[in-house]
A and B are shown apart, each in its own frame.
Chain A
Amino acid sequence: MAGRTPLFLARSGYRSRRLSDAARALPVLGLFLLLVPVLWSQDGRPGASTATIGVYLFIIWALLIAVAALLAPRLPLTETERAKPDKDGKG
């Protein structure tokens, strides 16, 4: 029965699962935050100035990059990391 994913995981396995959950949630959160400025305008008139919106967008952007940079090295490359010696060596 090898290869079946167990129902419960030890602490480290559990952590890396939750990290990949975070990696999945990040773009959704990002999309939401990037759509927020649209709600600032009222009746076609800009509610916030272009410069303000621009600064806001760049801050969100930088935050997304920072969080992704924090997550990326901590994520297990794949859930099934056994095919590591890749087949390149064959040919």
Chain B
Amino acid sequence: MPFNLLVLFCLTYVLFLFGVAFLADRAARRRGNGFLRSPLLYTLSLSIYCTAWTFYGAVGYAARSGLEFLTIYLGPTLVFVGWWWVLRKLVRIGRQEGITSIADLISSRYGKSNGLGVLVTLIMVIAATPYIALQLQSVTLSFNVFASDAPQSWALPDRGATAVWVAGGLALFTILFGTRNLDANERHHGIVMAIAVEAVVKLVALLAVGIFVVWGLAGGPSDMMTRIEASPIAATPLQPGRWMGLIFLSAFAVLSLPRMFQVLVVENADESNLARASWAFPAYLFGMSLFILPIAVIGLERLGPDANPDLYVLTLPLSEGYGWLAMLAFLGGFSSATSMVIVESIALSTMVSNHVIMPLWLRLRPRTEGAGDLRVVVLTARRFSIAAVLMLGLAYYRISGGSAALASIGLIAFAGVSQVLPAMLGGIFWRGATKVGAAAGMTTGIAVWAFSLFLPSFGPDAVIPAQVLNDGLMGLSWLRPQALFGTVGMDPLVHSVMWSLALNLCAFTLGSIATFPGPVERVQGAAFVNVFDSEARAGGIGWSRGHPEPEALLEMAQRILGAEPALAFFETEAREQGKAGYLPDPTPDMVAALERRLAGAVGAATAHAMIAPLFGQAVVTVEDLMAVANETAQMMEYSARLEAQQDELSRTARQLGEANALLTQISTQKDAFLSQISHELRTPMTSIRAFSEMLAEGDLPPEMVGKSGRIIHAEAIRLTRLLDDLLDLSVLERGTAQLHLSVVPLAGLIDRALDATAHIRPERVFEVLRDAGAETLFLRTDPDRLVQVLINLLSNARKYCDAPHPRLQIAVKNRAGRVSIDVIDNGAGIPKAAQSIIFEKFARLADESRSGGAGLGLAICREVMANLGGTIAYLPARKGAAFRVTLPLDPGEKPQSPAASTLS
């Protein structure tokens, strides 16, 4: 293919990308961004992980070391499949705090320290520069592949010129579409879209070459397998150390590469996209690496080991005469390189401008031009940073001569960027991580990395003298760069990764444990670590002191956000506070929201530094934090107390309800009692009145007079007895009964009661069972009252026991100072339904005729027993009626209170 045709084709492709970016940008601005927020686009944009190093380098890597190239993709696969651990939290923090770059994340977490931001920026620039150089080199190399075929056309541009052209074009594209808007949280839709298109191109290109190789050059998969077995690649076994080390290294790198952070966190439009990408991105990587090994094997087979294996993807189709496939492959490689450089330079330029240029600018010309629009400054800074980053890459490429194998540069960069990982992960999972620890860890890590991997990679005597390489720093053998502390047998890369990260982690942990974080640092630490716990976040606490002028805040915001957006923001805030106009009260929450908004544009450290002067010297202190924490704790305690009180109240209400129901019931009982009494009094009164009327009329035979007189007398006696009983009952119920306590033998009392009841239905002969042994005990009680109760029980038994051979058992037991006397007959007993009412007043069982009493007997018994400090109860489930009287041997304390006995 003629070289100038290639250039033309390439230019067309670039123009096409410009067009795509332009249209996407315009579409995003015009109508929402439905597709632009889709998970597919997000996943495709993540594919910038696959740079030219993947596209060309992976085949070379496979040709040199067999399956080991897979580690570079397996590590990220594990990270994405395990998104629930880290990525989810990173994305949430990024969105919540308006994070603009990985340097911003670390600086914001550790108290918005700009120093840390500068450190991270430095690490990233150092590590990324060779990586960018690598991309330029790959594009140049791939150009040369075509150019060497067609020397007749243009005078072959030297490779430097190609790199310059590419770098220039990329700078233009990036500046055009990457610095359109200031707020890093407003996505670069154009760029994301272009990257997505490029992602498709590289996947399609690599798959096309792979399919061509497997089905075109080899005879399908099974033939491919035998070829793999036969190739020299099969002789390279997996090296356990490198295999494991590289899986970890690539997993670390995918988390800490600036460009990955840019697309993963900063450009994330919707958190749910991450869930989709968790499997879709690994699937993309799967597709990208599926045919790497076949291409390497066939390349070795057909082109021999002399050809550069890094370019097999390109040279294999070309040598087989498939120009168009080579062209496609070239575009794939070109896409890989350009998309990486674009995003990397955006990410780096954001860091450089936010953490290096802006702070410098603000310090050099602090308040001179108060109304000056800082946006111009920021954007200019960013544009210059992009150009500078690309220039650096270009310079590195020129100086290093582009000799080293692609893969090794990539891995060296991976190891470099991984040095921010302890500080980053420690920052989002460990509240105890401090600024000093983070700085110490990263400094140590990057120094060890530089000494043991980066500088030696230039070769002996290039930067590090060969003598140091062999004998160690200052002649100390345990400081040999590639055998630190005497670890001789290790692979240099794994060696460096292990020592740099181990020492990094040590310094980070020790530094964090030994130092005390400042208040802002602690606020940020809590906000980051507890990002999923909205309660634990102490929003505007950082600004709880001092009272800045709202005008000053607005003026400052306008300088960064621009006049209109700033006004809109202030208006929204004012409306949320319920105020009209553009000036909300500078509450801590409002200031915190403003700070987050500014941080989205210029980074957390700069935003903080710009707001802080407006607060004068009033900085938040550790005591303020304690106060807020206490307040929260108090609130929670208070609400817990309220809850307990409410429980208490509802319990009381329930008790009141029960008491009320009882009172109602008692009132009904009282009414019933009154009407019953009236009835009971009325019956004898009626007969008395009738007979006394007859007497008053005279004319009665004397025997009738006598009879009437006896009836009147008997009824009057009955009436008196009834009234006596009622009086007795009321005295007992009120608890005012006079008790005559004395010590008496129980057996004597029972004898008295039996004697007194002998006259009732004397025709029936009762067999009385007693236990003389048990009855020989003395108790202190009112003997007459107790006998009254016993008489009542015994006479009831005599009256109602209907057994043919009536038997009466009196059982006495003495248990723990309480005596129980059971009176049990062998009659029919009391029906179950009636058992509960027999102790009520006027409770007479159906057969009224036999009683002759008013039904007060058992009620009186109950009251007597209550007065004696005992109880009387019906014993259910015995054969016959059974009552148990229980009373204390000695009523030491007063008998039960009258209220309790009436209510029970």
Contact = CB atoms under 8 A, between A and B. Distances in A.
A30 to B, nearest CB: 5
Interface string B68-108: 00100010011111111100100010010000000000000
Contact of B82 (A24, A34, A77): A24
A76 to B, nearest CB: 10
Contacts of B272: 77
A23 B85 CA distance: 8
Given A20-B84, A61-B286, A77-B275, A50 B234 contact: yes
Interface residues of A, number: 46
Interface string B219-255: 0000001001100011111101001100100000000
A57 to B, nearest CB: 6
Contacts of B286: 58, 61-62, 65
Interface in B537-582: 565, 568-569, 572
Given A51-B225, A64-B77, A64-B282, A38 B233 contact: no
A26 B79 CA distance: 10
A49 interface: yes
A75 to B, nearest CB: 7
A55 B81 CA distance: 20
Contacts of A62: 286
B283 A65 contact: yes
Contact of B237 (A24, A41, A51, A75): A41
Contact of A91 (B238, B532, B597, B643): B597
Contact of B228 (A35, A54, A57): A54
A54 B293 contact: yes
B290 A58 contact: yes
A34, A46, A82 — most chain B CB neighbours (10 Å): A34
Nearest to B80: A68
Interface string B610-641: 00000000000000000000000000100110
Given A27-B81, A72-B275, A91-B568, A38 B244 contact: yes
B534 A3 contact: yes
A12 interface: no
A41 B532 contact: no
B237 A44 contact: yes
B755 to A, nearest CB: 70
A51 B229 contact: yes
B66 interface: yes
Chief secondary structure at chain A's binding surface: helix
B867 interface: no
B250 to A, nearest CB: 12
B752 to A, nearest CB: 66
Given A1-B643, A3-B534, A91-B569, A26 B74 contact: no
A91 B565 contact: yes
A35 B243 contact: yes
B67 interface: yes
- Looking at A28, A66, A68, A78, the one whose CB has the most chain B CB atoms below 10 A away is A68
B182 to A, nearest CB: 12
Contacts of A72: 275-276, 278-279
A34 B74 contact: yes
Interface residues of B, number: 56
A34 B234 contact: no
Contact of B243 (A26, A38, A44): A38
Contact of A30 (B81, B84, B233, B238): B81
Contacts of B78: 27, 30-31, 34, 64
Contact of B279 (A35, A54, A69, A83): A69
B158 interface: no
A61 B275 contact: no
Contacts of B67: 50, 53-54, 57
Nearest to B84: A23
B369 interface: no
B43 to A, nearest CB: 12
Interface centre among A51, A57, A79 (most CB of B within 10 A): A51
A37 B383 CA distance: 48
Contact of A61 (B66, B77, B82): B77
Contacts of B306: none
B320 interface: no
A75 B417 CA distance: 31
B763 interface: no
B395 to A, nearest CB: 39
A45 interface: yes
A64 B77 CA distance: 8
Given A45-B237, A91-B569, A73 B275 contact: yes
A25 B532 CA distance: 20
A30 B705 CA distance: 119
B893 interface: no
Contacts of B680: none
A32 to B, nearest CB: 10
Contacts of B282: 61, 64-65, 68
A5 B153 CA distance: 73
A27 B79 contact: yes
9 contacts: A3-B535, A23-B82, A23-B83, A27-B81, A28-B82, A30-B82, A50-B234, A80-B533, A91-B572
Given A41-B238, A72-B276, A79-B532, 7 more contacts: A31-B247, A37-B238, A51-B228, A54-B70, A65-B279, A67-B81, A68-B278
